[in-house]
């Protein structure tokens, strides 16, 4: 089954580099228009997935990721148009030079080829990935989770119809239309058809892909995110940032999981945090020093368990820890972060610079919410994933991260001596 899908994707990938930027942009606008036109059918399909998810006991955070409504679908279509507005990376040249022997050398961006994306519970990923793949000249094979099957069928139908109408091979977007988990392993073995695998889901999915793939894998999207509040932070700004990072959308990977508070301000600041966030439904897990600062706030504050600081909450739970200073904050982040998004709240520039230098995360923040680790928010239009690896791409993976490059060498009858 998947060999045929791989053949079609590979064939389409060979024709996509011939598309002009104007052709790709026209097809992206066609996709956005078609998604809006097909709204009723897409939302009806999504309602079936949400109903099945509730019946099967999906968590509130997964149901939130799964849900589409008119506003979210409009946002998805809008993001496709943003991708159309972005510069086309394909064909971009860089590191251009003339060698002493007269050879003219440059690097030129080219598509990766065929990208396989395995993801769970987020139908918006279907459109984000397809639009970014198209703009960067790649074909894509999509394997969503069983909980999004109805939604993805409707979305892919719209996407492929839009491609056909705009003269782009519909085979550029392939969809594994089956919940059979054995097909994930089969996809990971399609090394002659697929050039990169990107998993988006929990730690178990990422580990499975790393252990079983015959194809290079880019992993990320699991965020245990921290903010360190040092003793010179602006309290009002810190409360506003923490509230946004925790509550704006708690079910996503760049939501805040733990705050580290300098001991010099902890007794005054931690009660303010709890009082500020509790009305939004936040509950707290506090290590002993932090818990001692909050003696009268039980039951919304409970002692932190041994695994709590290694948990990506994806819900309205926030870890609290008091630290002696910047050294201990950096040590805690090194021990417990997933290298996704971590930040410092401070009015001391030297502390900010040291934090930037020593915290090895894909996104490092100074006096800002971790919620900005997102392709759209960082001006990329959309993203395929947030990579926490060091090789090929790091952070939000958008157009440029979905390309590689070739060397182009021009001579005039040159031969090597």
Question: Among 84-93, 103-112, 220-229, 350-359, whose mean pLDDT is lowest?
Answer: 220-229
Distance CA 210, CA 22 (A): 37
Q: What's the distance, CA 2 to chain centroid?
A: 26
**Binning pLDDT at 50, 70 and 90, where does residue 120 land?**
confident
Which segments of 213-312 does DSSP mark as H helices, in order? Answer: 235-247, 263-277, 288-292
Q: Residue 398: which of 370, 417, 371, 379 has the closest Cα?
A: 379
Kindly state the average pLDDT of the residues 88-108.
Answer: 97
> Is the pLDDT assigned to residue 98 strictly greater than 70?
yes
Q: Which two tokens stand for residue 189?
A: 């073995």
Percentage of residues in the chain with pLDDT exceeding 90? Answer: 84
Q: Residue 243: which of 260, 261, 256 has the closest Cα?
A: 256
> Cα angle at 270 between 267 and 274, to 5 degrees?
140
For the stretch 200-241, pLDDT in tens is 887 888 889 999 999 999 987 789 999 999 999 999 999 999
Q: Residue 252: which of 386, 356, 359, 345 has the closest Cα?
A: 386
Distance CA 321, CA 287 (A): 6
How many CA atoms lie less than 13 Å away from 79 in the CB half-sphere?
27
8 A C-beta contact, residue 240 and residue 273: no
CB atoms under 10 Å from CB of 331, counted, come to 13
**Omega prior to 319 cis, within 30 of 0:** no
- What are the boundaries of each domain within the chain? 2-219+389-410, 225-372
Comparing 228 with 381, the larger pLDDT belongs to: 228
Measured over all CA atoms, what is the biggest interatomic distance in the chain, rounded to whole angstroms? 83
Which residues touch 18 (CB under 8 Å, ≥6 apart)? none
Kindly state the average pLDDT of the residues 80-91.
Answer: 94
Q: Which CATH architecture has domain 225-372?
A: 3-Layer(aba) Sandwich (3.40)
> Is the pLDDT assigned to residue 96 strictly greater than 80?
yes
Question: Among 69-73, 163-167, 274-278, 385-389, whose mean pLDDT is lowest?
Answer: 385-389
**Binning pLDDT at 50, 70 and 90, where does residue 71 land?**
very high
Only one residue has tokens 């409970």, namely 302
List, as own/partner pairs, every contact residues 294-300 make where C-beta atoms lie below 8 angstroms and the sequence separation is at least 24, other chains included: 294/270, 294/320, 297/271, 300/274
Distance CA 306, CA 240 (A): 29
For the stretch 280-306, pLDDT in tens is 999 999 999 999 999 766 689 999 999
**Binning pLDDT at 50, 70 and 90, where does residue 64 land?**
confident
Q: Which CATH architecture has domain 2-219+389-410?
A: 3-Layer(aba) Sandwich (3.40)
The strand pairing partners of 108, in sequence order, are 93, 406
CB atoms under 10 Å from CB of 124, counted, come to 20
Whether the full predicted model's pTM is greater than 0.95, yes or no, is no
């Amino acid at each position: 089954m998947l060999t045929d899908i791989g053949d079609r994707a590979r064939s389409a990938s060979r024709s996509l580099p011939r598309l002009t930027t104007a052709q790709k942009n026209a097809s992206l606008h066609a996709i956005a228009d078609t998604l809006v036109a097909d709204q009723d059918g897409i939302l009806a399909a999504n309602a079936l997935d949400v109903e099945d998810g509730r019946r099967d006991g999906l968590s509130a955070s997964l149901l939130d990721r799964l849900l589409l409504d008119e506003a979210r679908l409009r946002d998805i279509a809008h993001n496709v148009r943003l991708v159309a507005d972005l510069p086309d990376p394909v064909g971009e040249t860089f590191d251009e030079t003339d060698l002493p022997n007269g050879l003219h050398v440059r690097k030129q961006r080219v598509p990766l080829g065929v990208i396989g994306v395995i993801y769970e519970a987020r139908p918006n990923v279907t459109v984000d990935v397809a639009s970014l793949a198209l703009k960067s000249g790649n074909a894509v094979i999509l394997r969503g989770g069983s909980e999004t099957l109805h939604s993805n069928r409707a979305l892919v139908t719209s996407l492929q119809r839009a491609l056909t109408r705009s003269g782009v091979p519909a085979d550029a977007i392939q969809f594994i239309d089956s919940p059979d988990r054995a097909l994930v392993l089969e996809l990971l073995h399609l090394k002659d058809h697929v050039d990169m695998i990107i998993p988006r889901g929990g730690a178990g999915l990422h580990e499975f892909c790393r252990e079983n793939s015959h194809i290079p894998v880019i992993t990320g999207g699991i965020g245990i995110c921290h903010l360190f509040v040092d003793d010179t932070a602006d309290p009002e700004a810190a409360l506003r940032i923490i509230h946004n990072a925790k509550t704006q959308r708690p079910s996503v990977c760049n939501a805040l999981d733990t705050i580290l508070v300098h001991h010099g301000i902890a007794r005054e600041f931690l009660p303010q945090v709890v009082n500020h966030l509790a009305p939004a439904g936040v509950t707290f897990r506090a290590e002993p020093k932090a818990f001692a600062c909050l003696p009268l706030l039980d039951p919304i504050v409970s002692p932190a368990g041994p695994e709590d600081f290694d948990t990506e909450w994806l819900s309205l739970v926030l870890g609290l820890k008091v630290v002696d200073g910047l050294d201990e904050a950096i040590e805690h982040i090194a021990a417990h972060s997933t290298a996704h998004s971590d930040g410092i709240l401070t009015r001391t520039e030297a502390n900010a610079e040291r934090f930037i230098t020593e915290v090895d995360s894909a996104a490092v923040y100074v006096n800002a919410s971790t919620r900005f680790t997102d392709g759209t928010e960082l001006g990329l239009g959309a993203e395929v994933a947030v990579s926490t690896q060091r090789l090929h791409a790091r952070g939000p993976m958008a157009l440029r991260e979905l390309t590689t490059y070739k060397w182009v060498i021009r001579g005039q009858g040159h031969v090597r001596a």
